[in-house]
Chain A
Amino acid sequence: MSSVFTLLLKRETRLLFRRPAELANPLVFFAIVIALFPLAVGPESQLLQTISPGLVWVAALLAVLLSLDGLFRSDFEDGSLEQWVVSPHPLALLVLAKVLAHWAFSGLALVLLAPLLGLMLGLPLGAMPVLLLSLLLGTPILSLLGAVGAALTVGLKRGGLLLALLILPLYIPVLILGSGALQAALQGLPAIGHLLWLASLTALAVTLTPFAIAAGLKISVGE
């Protein structure tokens, strides 16, 4: 059972690396959205610093959402999902491996890119650990929740916008906690409370969402 889990992880990794451009797209999107804001609100560093927590988080959230639209699409079209459903392994486990692989390369890359963009927005170096940690804890939740939406909309012709409509409201707690942690760090307050909350939400998402994703995929495949 666990061997299928690792095999699927390996397979997904291989697939992602055979098309590296798709890995880069969310990152470039993330950078562009961040770059739009100084152009829109003006380059004063004070203003940028105050809005940077929210900005980084909104941009990260949108980048993750964008990358999730195609999460199950190719598996749906080439019949892989059908094979998953008729296999003897629990679908929730397979799905967890798939999302984990996806997160490890898109979410994690986002986390690594964030400090650079944070610096450009004038975030002090002292806030970087909190930025990294909050994204590290928050992006898995974004990937997992988004995967629920992706599973439900995978069979639809134009699911992208619908996916955003379904999932963005569910992202709000993560947004509040993540940017709250960063704001606290900016004001020199301890951010540990926020981070602990984020961690418990991550644990909750890892345990519960695979079942919702699996149910969603079964519905989409069974249509």
Chain B
Amino acid sequence: MNWTWFHKLGSPKWFYEISGRWLPWLAWAAAILVSVGVVWGLAFAPEDYQQGNSFRIIYIHVPAAFLAQSVYVMLAVAGVVGLVWKMKLADVALQQAAPIGAWMTFIALLTGAVWGKPTWGAWWVWDARLTSMLILLFLYFGVIALGQAISNRDSAAKACAVLAIVGVVNIPIIKYSVEWWNTLHQPATFKVTEKPAMPMEMWLPLLVMVLGFYCFFAAVLLMRMRLDVLRRESRASWVKSEIKSLVGKSA
């Protein structure tokens, strides 16, 4: 098998060039998908027969929750790549993705709580999903705090990678134990997000929103990574010339 693409991927210069080409496309895709999804979900999707219009929060809650979970898995994957193949870009990706993931978790938690008020009559209910999300937020805080606390950036990236991998092994255990704890304490609660069959007019905008959120994440991640690459590689000649041309443009 030809592995040159993999090593090329590790080259910051190559990444900077290719990501510069992808970024506008991703940004536009995210903007279009999210606006279409929002308008569709808010104005055109039919209302839920049980929850009425408050169910429209699903179009934010579910994509954010999806993204929050997959970003954590991505942290661990980046961690493995960084530790095993010593790829610097994976370190960059890990540290730049963590805050975005934490914000997505925050959105999922907040919309879940707001949604809970009309559905359960309380702002916060110790529902299995919300509780798992809260724990996920704590896990993100851990990764971010550890990355900030270690001053040497290579060690910081490696330490975060180890923590993310330990966390990702734990996530299924946490998830199942929390679900199990939940059924033990409040049997047969009404689950908001698990509807037996959602009609197509309802899940199609959801799909659009999920795609939009993923594009959004990719675009923001690339933006953050590009800046970090410039900072880290500031001694390389291509970065110096790139910065000169950028400074020249803005001045």
Classify A-B as touching or not with yes or no (CB < 8 A): yes
List chain A positions with a Cβ less than 8 A from chain B. 145, 148, 152-153, 155-156, 159, 162, 165-166, 168-170, 172-173, 176-177, 180, 201, 208-209, 212, 215-216, 219-220, 222-223
Whether A170 lies near B170 (C-beta < 8 A) is: yes
B contacts with A: majority SS:
helix
Give the residue of A168, A177, A209, A219 whose beta carbon is less than 8 angstroms from that of B159. Answer: A219
- Known interface pairs A169-B167, A180-B181, A223-B152; 17 further A-B residue pairs with C-beta atoms within 8 A, sorted by A's residue number: A145-B166, A152-B146, A155-B155, A162-B149, A165-B141, A165-B145, A166-B142, A166-B145, A168-B138, A172-B135, A172-B174, A176-B177, A176-B181, A201-B173, A212-B162, A212-B166, A216-B162
B215-250 CB contacts (< 8 Å) to partner A: none
B175-196 CB contacts (< 8 Å) to partner A: 177-178, 180-181, 184
What 1/0 mask marks residues of chain B from 116 to 149 whose CB sits below 8 Å from any chain A CB? 0000000000000000000100110110011001
> What are 18 inter-chain pairs, A to B, with CB distance below 8 A?
A148-B166, A152-B159, A152-B163, A153-B146, A153-B149, A156-B150, A159-B149, A165-B138, A170-B167, A170-B174, A173-B173, A173-B174, A208-B169, A212-B165, A215-B162, A220-B155, A222-B155, A223-B155
Give the distance to chain A from B53, nearest Cβ to Cβ, in Å.
35
Complex: A177 Cα to B178 Cα, angstroms: 10
B184 — which chain A residues lie within 8 A by C-beta? 180
Give the distance to chain B from A58, nearest Cβ to Cβ, in Å.
14
Give the distance to chain A from B161, nearest Cβ to Cβ, in Å.
9
A223 — which chain B residues lie within 8 A by C-beta? 150, 152, 155
Enumerate the 3 nearest inter-chain pairs by beta-carbon distance, A residue then B residue, closest first: A173-B177, A169-B138, A166-B142
Complex: A125 Cα to B163 Cα, angstroms: 40
Complex: A54 Cα to B42 Cα, angstroms: 43
List chain B positions with a Cβ less than 8 A from chain A. 83, 135, 138-139, 141-142, 145-146, 149-150, 152, 155, 158-159, 162-163, 165-167, 169-170, 173-174, 177-178, 180-181, 184
**B143 to A, closest residue via Cβ:** A166
Give the residue of B145, B166, B170 whose beta carbon is less than 8 angstroms from that of A173. Answer: B170
A215 — which chain B residues lie within 8 A by C-beta? 83, 158, 162
The residue among A145, A170, A176 with the most chain B CB atoms within 10 A of its own CB is A170
Complex: A168 Cα to B142 Cα, angstroms: 10
Complex: A223 Cα to B166 Cα, angstroms: 21
Whether A162 lies near B155 (C-beta < 8 A) is: no
Whether B162 lies near A219 (C-beta < 8 A) is: yes
Give the distance to chain B from A141, nearest Cβ to Cβ, in Å.
10
A201 — which chain B residues lie within 8 A by C-beta? 173
Complex: A165 Cα to B139 Cα, angstroms: 8
Complex: A169 Cα to B142 Cα, angstroms: 9
Give the distance to chain A from B150, nearest Cβ to Cβ, in Å.
7
**B144 to A, closest residue via Cβ:** A165
**A201 to B, closest residue via Cβ:** B173
The residue among B135, B162, B181, B184 with the most chain A CB atoms within 10 A of its own CB is B162
